[in-house]
Structure 1
Amino acid sequence: MRVTLLGTGDTTGTPTVGCGCDTCERARELGVERSRFAVHVENGRTGESLLIDLSPDFRSQFLTHDVPLPDAALVTHIHFDHLDGLGNAYRVFDDLPVHATGEVDPVTEESVAGTIRRKYDYLDRVTVHDHDPMAPFRTCGLNVRFVPVDHPPLLCYGVVVEDPETGAKCSLTGDTSYGIPEASRAALVDPDLLLADGIVPASAARRHPLGGKHHDDDGVPRTFGTKHMTREGALDLAAELDADRTRLVHLAHYYPADEAFAEPLAVDGEAYDL
């Protein structure tokens, strides 16, 4: 199972359009990018591949990185930076199965799967498949399940992908605060590779109108505002889950330039064989 990080940035990416901050300038100097979030998982046994989230940067990601077009896709939630790349399915695919949860969100009164059907009803090449949270299913020869996480006000899900033949496991937290339910933590545990939302360092929480949440014993916030983990929260979660390897993703340009490209913060194009 080969995992390629096509997009490792938050909703604006790094460099951010029109931004001349030190971090965006440093990214330009290094020639690296953090485009909007997407992960490609290739099953070497079957030759099939799976795309987790459909970034609005879909076109440039697949032109830039040496990965095949997916045979199926997953959508973790309905925010545009994770969904709106689905429009690229037009004329690119003969058929693209898209997997999402059928759980109805009380805020939108619609499930993730239902939103995709409504928003992309003109894409006759897309077939949407509903799944219950935590229920395993098979796609591209891999065992997959959506696990509920905490990204208020919308329902959002992490993902567990396992190779039934080799036992290789990749866990993605999805967009989430540190307040991931215990049942989901149990599903995410012991991955060969953990991709964890670590949008900013904990020091940035003092500049958020809501500050931070889920403080550790030293008062360090593991959640930035209410929706995303801090770097410190993501690393604490990685230790709790006993991850063999951890990469922080969904990263904002609000990291100080001297910290923004240090380990274990990911950049686009990284690939891992599990």
Structure 2
Amino acid sequence: MRVTLLGTGDTTGTPTVGCDCATCDRARERGVERSRFSVHIENERAEESILIDLSPDFRHQFLTQDVPLPDAAVVTHIHFDHLDGLGNAYRIFDSLPVYAANEVDPETGESVAETVRRKYDYLDRVSVHDVTPLEPIEVCGLELTLVRVDHPPLICYGLVVVDPETGAKLSLSGDTSYDVPESSRERLRDPDLFLADAIVPAALCDRHPLGGSHHDADGVPRSFGTKHMTREGALALADDLNADVTRLVHTAHYYPADEAFEEPLAVDGEGYRLDETGVIRLDTTPAESASTTD
């Protein structure tokens, strides 16, 4: 399967609109973006593809990245930067099945699937399909499993995607703190490629009203506040999951400019092929080209 990172940023993206911080300026100089989060997964055998989360930057992402429109979509949670791009389905798709969890969230009184169905009831070409977490389903010839993670106050999910023909495995943390349940870690474990939420480096936790949480043995916070992992937390989770290749996503422009484009932080447009041999990087991004001349 082919994996393309369409959007690798947090809720405001990088560069952030109206921001002239050093990191946003550096992104403009390099010609790179971290738009709002979305991942495209193509089953090249079946010539079908799946979109993980529907970014508000949907239109821009599909105009600038060389990927086909998806045959299906998955929604991990209902925050606008992961869902509100679904409005782009208007006049574009003949039909689009959308898969989302069926667990009722006490915070909202409805499941993710129910929220999507209610919010986008005017899109008659979109059909919403209820998914039971931890129970695999087949979509576009790939096996998908939603796994519960920790993103208070809402229920949120990570995702496991397995190619049954090759055994290739993609794990996606979803928006989460480091406090991922063990049952979910078991499903996420041993991925060829791991996409991990890493909103800021741990050193910035003192800027959060709640500070950091889930500290390691050296006192380094693995969560920023209570909702997202720090860079250090994401790498610790990757180590615990025995990930072969890890890319850090959902990153904010608060990263210091001299750290913001260092490995393994991802930028939009990165592509990977996962097969029985492992992970193959498909592209050279502007960030990589620029790093050779900085």
Q: Distance in 1 between matches of 2:50 and 2:172?
A: 14
Q: Distance in 2 between matches of 1:37 and 1:19?
A: 19
SS across alignment from 2:6: strand
Shift of 1:239: 0.6
Q: Distance in 2 between matches of 1:50 and 1:188?
A: 19
SS across alignment from 1:213: strand
Shift of 1:109: 0.0
Shift of 1:135: 0.8
Q: Distance in 2 between matches of 1:242 and 1:87?
A: 37
Of all paired residues, the percent bearing the same amino acid is: 77
Q: Distance in 2 between matches of 1:42 and 1:17?
A: 31
The alignment status of 1:93 with 2:93, answered yes or no, reads yes
Q: Distance in 2 between matches of 1:99 and 1:75?
A: 6
Describe the superposition over 1:189-232 as per-residue Cα deviations: whole angstroms up to 9, x where unpaired.
00000000000000010111100001011100000000000000
In structure 2, list runs of 5 or more residues that go unmatched. 275-294
Counterpart in the other structure of 2:278:
none
With the length of structure 2 as denominator, give the TM-score of the two structures.
0.93
Residue identity opposite 1:56 in structure 2: P
Shift of 1:27: 0.3
The alignment status of 1:114 with 2:114, answered yes or no, reads yes
Shift of 1:149: 0.0
Shift of 1:184: 0.2
Q: Distance in 2 between matches of 1:69 and 1:134?
A: 27
Shift of 1:110: 0.7
Counterpart in the other structure of 1:240:
240
In structure 1, list runs of 5 or more residues that go unmatched. none
Counterpart in the other structure of 2:157:
157
Question: Equivalent residues in 2 for 1:178-189 (5 A)?
Answer: 178-189=178-189
SS across alignment from 2:130: strand
Describe the superposition over 1:237-257 as per-residue Cα deviations: whole angstroms up to 9, x where unpaired.
001101000000000000000
Counterpart in the other structure of 1:16:
16
Question: Equivalent residues in 2 for 1:66-81 (5 A)?
Answer: 66-81=66-81
Q: Distance in 1 between matches of 2:232 and 2:174?
A: 16
Q: Distance in 2 between matches of 1:129 and 1:162?
A: 19
Q: Distance in 2 between matches of 1:11 and 1:113?
A: 21
Residue identity opposite 1:16 in structure 2: T
Q: How many matched pairs?
A: 274
Residue identity opposite 2:112 in structure 1: V
Describe the superposition over 1:168-203 as per-residue Cα deviations: whole angstroms up to 9, x where unpaired.
000000000000000000000000000000000000
Residue identity opposite 1:68 in structure 2: P
With the length of structure 1 as denominator, give the TM-score of the two structures.
1.00
Q: Distance in 1 between matches of 2:116 and 2:239?
A: 35
Shift of 1:53: 0.1
Residue identity opposite 1:140 in structure 2: C
